[in-house]
Amino acid sequence: MFNYISAVNPNVLCLQEFAEYYLKGTFSNTEELKKLGYIYFKRTDELSLRDGNGLVEAGSAIFSKIPITASSKVMLGDPSYPEYLLSADVSFQNKPIRIFSTHFKSLHLFANPLDTGNRVKLYGDSNFVYRESKLPKLKAFGQAHAREAVIAKEAINKSAYPVILGTDMNSVPTSFSYHKMSENLQDAFKLNGWGLGATMDSLPKTLRIDFLLVDKKLLITNYHKDEKHLSDHFPHFIDVKWNK
């Protein structure tokens, strides 16, 4: 993954489900990215897990080679299983922009009921994730995503600067969440991509659940997705410039 990031060499990284390990015998993802020049960063660290081996913190993150002048995070609802909308302000061609990164609740469609070691508590009841069939999960998480989208969009609309949003929405383009989040923004894939646009390595190749949404004050000059098997999501990135 680090070799790939070094080769692509973006100015800013929007990462979801970013993990930092404080465990014996592991290295620091943050320190490795700093070695690549991403010395400015913000993390939400919304999930904190500790065991006998040490600590793991995970959440959304923004890493930048450009100085971050301000940042914030907004909780998207359920504090028992928090997800945050993270923002970072940077100067792009001498003008400020606000970059957002967020992750909506995972669907857990393929949760293994026999896996008792890594259970996720949701709605105060792990049985919902590990015992329910896929259809009840789709309904429940669709409703949760809608609530997250309303909160996130309200925060984005308050931005004093043009915005770029990188998100793992866990929802497809026909969903309420997508339509809410993409209001008045450009979908980089729709403008510059081609094909079906699937963004997950582990799902059917028709599903697009990760999005790059861009303010109309910016012109998207390039969109590219690499079907690299580096994680369960394919990396995708854009080039932008100011609209005249």
In order, the DSSP letters of 145-158 are HHHHHHHHHHHHHT
Tokens of 77: 């609802």
Query: In Å, how far are 23, 57, 239 from 181, measured between CA atoms?
Result: 37, 27, 21
Residue 158: pLDDT band with limits 50, 70, 90:
very high
Number of domains in the chain: 1
pLDDT tens string 32-77: 999 999 999 999 998 887 766 788 898 999 999 999 999 999 999 8
Q: Please check whether residue 11 lies inside any domain of the structure.
A: no
Domain that holds residue 225: 66-242
**Does residue 201 belong to any structural domain of this protein?**
yes
Return the residue matching tokens 């909160």.
151
Q: What are phi and psi of 12, to 5 degrees?
A: -135, 140
User: Does residue 165 fall inside a structural domain?
Assistant: yes
182-191: pLDDT as tens digits: 999 999 999 8
- The candidate with the shortest Cα–Cα distance to 89, out of 163, 5, 155, is 163
Asked whether residue 2 is assigned to any structural domain, the reply reads no
pTM for this model (two decimals)? 0.85
* Count of beta carbons in the 10 Å neighbourhood of residue 28: 12
What distance in Å separates the CA atoms of residue 107 and residue 115, rounded to the nearest whole number?
16
Query: Which tokens in the block code for residue 159?
Result: 């931005």
pLDDT class for 119, splitting at 50, 70, 90? very low
Residue 127 lies inside a defined structural domain of this protein: yes
Q: Write the burial class of residue 128 (CB in 10 Å: 0-12 exposed, 13-18 middle, 19+ buried).
A: middle
Percent of the chain at pLDDT above 90? Answer: 53
216 in a domain, yes or no?
yes
Q: Give residue-wise pLDDT tens across range 80-91.
A: 778 999 999 999
Residue type, 191: L
pLDDT tens-digit map of 99-112: 999 999 876 544 55
pLDDT at 226: 83
Residue 7 lies inside a defined structural domain of this protein: no
Exposed, middle or buried by CB within 10 Å (0-12, 13-18, 19+), for 78? Answer: middle
CATH code of the domain covering residue 92: 3.60.10.10
pLDDT per position as a tens digit, 128-138: 455 554 556 56
Q: Is 17 inside a domain boundary?
A: no
